[in-house]
Amino acid sequence: MHSYSLLAAAKINLYLEVVGDRPDGYHELVMVMQSIGLADRLTIRSLNSADIRLQCDHPQVPGDASNLAHRAAALLQNRFPQAMKQHGGVEITIQKNIPVGAGLAGGSADAAAVLVGVDMLWQLGLTQIELQTLGAELGSDVPFCISGGTAIATGRGEQIDSLQGIEQFYVVLAKYSSLTISTPWAYQAYRRAFAATYVDVNTAGQTRREALHSGPMVAAIYHQDGPDIGHHLHNDLEKVVLTQHAQVQALKDAMAASGGLGTLMSGSGPTVFTLAATRTEAEAIAAQVRSQLSDPDLELWVAPFVSTSVQFSP
Ligand code: ATP
């Protein structure tokens, strides 16, 4: 096989708590992540030359070596130079469906798909843990994007504990097309405003992790209790993003008033999502938000929860 087609799924955060500052300069986080059926499509093809080539159809996504998908292939080339000599370089084509700079980990999902696809193409036989360890070098969300499904993510987001799946639920996503938020900006703004609330991650980090493991959100997931999951949605970053962007706060208010199980901003935003028990309910919420906020810049999607992030596709 000299070519693979893969789907790389977006994620939402059902829970995101900022614990404090880590010695490595990142924030210590406690999160619950969920893969959703909104996915980029990647094709990974062998080349006769020892090149990494990338094509991407999206104007906001770099087409050069800074693209996270390109960096994923370069990392494997660096670690497994003999495999590249034997099997040739790779051409990566990305069809972007996940909005960019949206808090949905689109770049991380693409990087995860390249690690999984090139592992197959070069017959490296890496385990999921090995792929996740490599992925953590590219970005904190990449390890989750390799395993996907429903999971607790701690550390800087790269420590993954999978939970039982809750694939019966749906999500309505909404984002103003022209508004993107830089993840580093959101965390820096959070530090400026809330550093006084940070705890010492060495002494209290473990307590926060245990509190999430034994807390109400994980219990709600365990019981597959949609209203309870909706009730315990939480994202600390809303405190900086919603106060800086009145438009996103108004969007969240409109989504929350349209029914559903609960509404939250995903990651560093600005995507806002509402959980729904069925596709019919999700589509009704999307239609109501669309008619209430009739703004051509507003994009809406309906997607199911899914159990894997990277999927081989025909
Ligand atoms: P996260 O939720 O992980 O914080 P995000 O959804 O907010 O991420 P991305 O869509 O992953 O953000 O993109 C963030 C930045 O990364 C953009 O400025 C984009 O130009 C750059 N980038 C690099 N490679 C990619 C890629 N393959 N897809 C999307 N963006 C990429």
Predicted local distance difference test score (pLDDT) of residue 203: 84
CA distance to 148, 221, 248, 303, per residue, from 163 (Å) = 10, 8, 30, 20
Residue 75 Cα to chain centre, angstroms: 21
Residues sharing a CB contact under 8 Å with residue 51, sequence separation 6 or more, in sequence order: 89, 91
8: its two tokens: 């790389």
196 DSSP assignment: G
| Alpha-carbon span 4 to 44, nearest angstrom | 5
Best CA proximity match to 20, nearest among 243, 244, 207: 207
The sign of the dihedral angle between the CA atoms of 280, 249, 107, 201 is negative
Residues sharing a CB contact under 8 Å with residue 192, sequence separation 6 or more, in sequence order: none
Predicted local distance difference test score (pLDDT) of residue 1: 56
Whether 241 lines ligand 1, by a CB cut-off of 6 Å, is no
Nearest-CA residue for ligand 1 atom 27 is 107
Nearest-CA residue for ligand 1 atom 12 is 101
Count of CB atoms within 10 A of residue 168's CB?
11
| Alpha-carbon span 13 to 238, nearest angstrom | 12
pTM: 0.96
Scanning the structure block, which residue is given the tokens 């062998």?
Answer: 46
CA of 200 to the centre of ligand 1 (A): 30
Best CA proximity match to 97, nearest among 109, 87, 89: 109
Helix ranges, the chain (H): 68-79, 81-87, 106-121, 128-138, 142-147, 183-194, 201-213, 216-222, 226-231, 238-244, 246-256, 279-292
Whether 61 lines ligand 1, by a CB cut-off of 6 Å, is yes
Nearest-CA residue for ligand 1 atom 19 is 61
| Residue 17 contacts residue 267 (beta carbons within 8 Å) | no
Indicate the top mutation candidate among 27, 68, 235, 273 to test ligand 1's pocket, ranked by most ligand atoms within 8 A of CB: 68
Whether 230 lines ligand 1, by a CB cut-off of 6 Å, is no
| Beta-ladder partners of 310 | 8
Q: Looking at ligand 1, which atom is closest to the CA of residue 96?
A: 28
Report mean pLDDT in 10-residue bins for the chain, 314 residues.
Answer: 92 97 93 98 94 94 96 97 94 97 97 98 97 98 98 96 97 96 95 94 87 96 98 98 96 96 97 98 97 94 97 91
Nearest-CA residue for ligand 1 atom 29 is 107
Whether 106 lines ligand 1, by a CB cut-off of 6 Å, is yes
- Per-domain boundaries in the chain: 3-165, 170-304
Residue 216 Cα to chain centre, angstroms: 22
- Please state whether the peptide bond connecting residue 314 to the residue before it is cis, i.e. omega within 30 degrees of 0: no
Q: Span 170-304: which CATH code?
A: 3.30.70.890
Determine the angle formed by the axes of helices 246-256 and 279-292, rounding to 10 degrees.
130
Q: Write the single-letter amino acid at 191.
A: R
Fold of the 3-165 domain: Ribosomal Protein S5; domain 2 (3.30.230)
Whether 259 lines ligand 1, by a CB cut-off of 6 Å, is no
List, by residue number, the catalytic residues: 11, 141
Nearest-CA residue for ligand 1 atom 14 is 101
Nearest-CA residue for ligand 1 atom 31 is 107
Q: Looking at ligand 1, which atom is closest to the CA of residue 141?
A: 3
Whether 20 lines ligand 1, by a CB cut-off of 6 Å, is no
Determine the angle formed by the axes of helices 106-121 and 128-138, rounding to 10 degrees.
130
Indicate the top mutation candidate among 70, 183, 268 to test ligand 1's pocket, ranked by most ligand atoms within 8 A of CB: 183
Q: Looking at ligand 1, which atom is closest to the CA of residue 99?
A: 10
Whether 110 lines ligand 1, by a CB cut-off of 6 Å, is yes
Q: Looking at ligand 1, which atom is closest to the CA of residue 111?
A: 27
| Alpha-carbon span 54 to 63, nearest angstrom | 6
25 DSSP assignment: S
